[in-house]
Amino acid sequence: MPCLPSRRELLSSGGALTGMVAGFPALLKGQTRRRPQILLRSSWQSVNIGDVGHTPGALSLLRKHFPEAEVTLWPGGLGHGSRDLLTQGYPGLKFAEGSVDAGGKPTTPALDRAWKEAHLYLSGSGSGFPASNHAVAFAKATGKPVGVFGVSTDPISGIGAGREPEGGTLEELRAMSMRLPKDHLSTDLRYIMDRSAFFFCRDTISRDYLRAQGVKTPILEFGPDAQLGMHLRDDARGLAFLRSSGLVAQQFICVIPRLRYTPYYRVNNTSRVPSDDIKDAINERTTEKDHAKLREMMIAYIRQTGRKVLACPEMTYQVEMAKEVLVDPLPADVKPNVVWRDRFWLPDEAAAVYAKAQAVVSVECHSPLIALHNGTPAFYVRQPTDTCKGQMYRDFGAGNWFFEVDETNGEQLWSRLQGIVADPAKAKADGRAIMATVDGFQKRMVDAVRAAATQ
Q: How far apart are CA 293 and CA 289, in angstroms?
A: 7
Q: What is the pLDDT of residue 151?
A: 96
Mark whether 244 and 225 lie in a shared domain. no
Q: How far apart are CA 244 and CA 237, in angstroms?
A: 11
Q: What is the pLDDT of residue 19?
A: 30
Mark whether 192 and 246 lie in a shared domain. no
Overall domain count for the chain:
2
Q: What is the span of the domain harbouring residue 398?
A: 235-436
Q: What is the pLDDT of residue 233?
A: 98
**Which residues are CB-neighbours of 87 under 8 A, at least 6 positions away?**
93
Mark whether 86 and 160 lie in a shared domain. yes
CATH of the domain at 418: 3.40.50.2000
CA distances from 156 to 25, 169, 206, 274, 389 (A): 43, 11, 10, 19, 12
**Type and span of the H or E element at 302:** helix 274-305
Q: What is the pLDDT of residue 138?
A: 97
Residues 107 and 100: beta-carbon distance below 8 Å = yes
pLDDT in tens, 224-243: 999 999 999 999 999 999 99
Residue 255 lies in a domain: yes
CATH of the domain at 36: 3.40.50.11720
Q: What is the pLDDT of residue 33?
A: 61
Q: How far apart are CA 379 and CA 401, in angstroms?
A: 5
Q: What is the pLDDT of residue 34?
A: 80
pLDDT in tens, 16-55: 332 333 333 333 344 456 899 999 999 999 999 999 999 9
pLDDT in tens, 367-394: 999 999 999 999 999 999 999 999 999 9
Residue 133 lies in a domain: yes
| DSSP string for residues in 348-363 | HHHHHHHHHSSEEEES
Q: What is the pLDDT of residue 455?
A: 85
The conformation of residue 26, written as its DSSP 8-state character, comes to: P
Q: How far apart are CA 31 and CA 104, in angstroms?
A: 34
Which segments in the chain show pLDDT lower than 50?
Answer: 1-31
Mark whether 295 and 335 lie in a shared domain. yes
Mark whether 204 and 274 lie in a shared domain. no
Q: Using N-to-C axis directions, what is the helix angle for 274-305 and 410-422, rounded to 10°? A: 50
